[in-house]
Amino acid sequence: MYPRDITAGPHPESLAVLDRGDPIELTARDVTKYHGTGSPGGVALAFKAMQRGLPLLEPEGTPERREVAVHTPFDGPGARDAFELVLRAVTGDRYAVDPSLERTDLPPTRARFVFRLSYRDRVVTLTLREGFVDPEFMDLLGAERTAEQDARLTELKRELADRVMAASAPAAYEAVEAGPARG
């Protein structure tokens, strides 16, 4: 069973991008259907990061999806698939897992949840705020797990997705805008 419904509420969560000039809108449900049920937390983290970052990259309108690049130390498959569906970043070779972006000055519940998005001459770095990732999640994530621990991790992934999707994008992510985009 995949998260209770990360699109619950009167207005489904959505993202607007341009595809070669044509506007398209993708919902959290669309991303979930593309990724599947394995990593709902990663799907939610990336979706909310795009909700926060895309308007900052193109404050005058809607960005061209095939021009947005993503760099992150987070290697979760749910996040990767969300960036691929919305931005076509993986197939466009504009998605990179970059361990050097890890924020070692932050606790483990935040350190790897950093997303640097760039578009034309703009860059924004998004860092997950405190209170979204359970320390138990981090402990189980990299561990060799029993069947019981796997079930618990699945539950924690769903809870993470629920917390992230229930928050506004600014409540979920700190955003720092930088100067001109670089590689």
Q: What is the pLDDT of residues 37-78, one digit of tens each?
A: 899 999 999 999 999 999 999 988 999 999 999 999 999 999
> Is residue 39 classed as helix, strand or coil in its secondary structure?
coil
User: Is there a domain that residue 103 lies in?
Assistant: yes
pLDDT score recorded for residue 180: 54
pTM tops 0.95: no
User: Is there a domain that residue 66 lies in?
Assistant: yes
pLDDT score recorded for residue 157: 95
User: Is there a domain that residue 117 lies in?
Assistant: yes
Residues 6+ apart with CB under 8 A from 51: 13, 15, 169
CATH value at residue 78? 3.30.1330.130
Residue span of the structural domain in which 115 resides: 14-178
DSSP state of 158: H
User: Is there a domain that residue 1 lies in?
Assistant: no
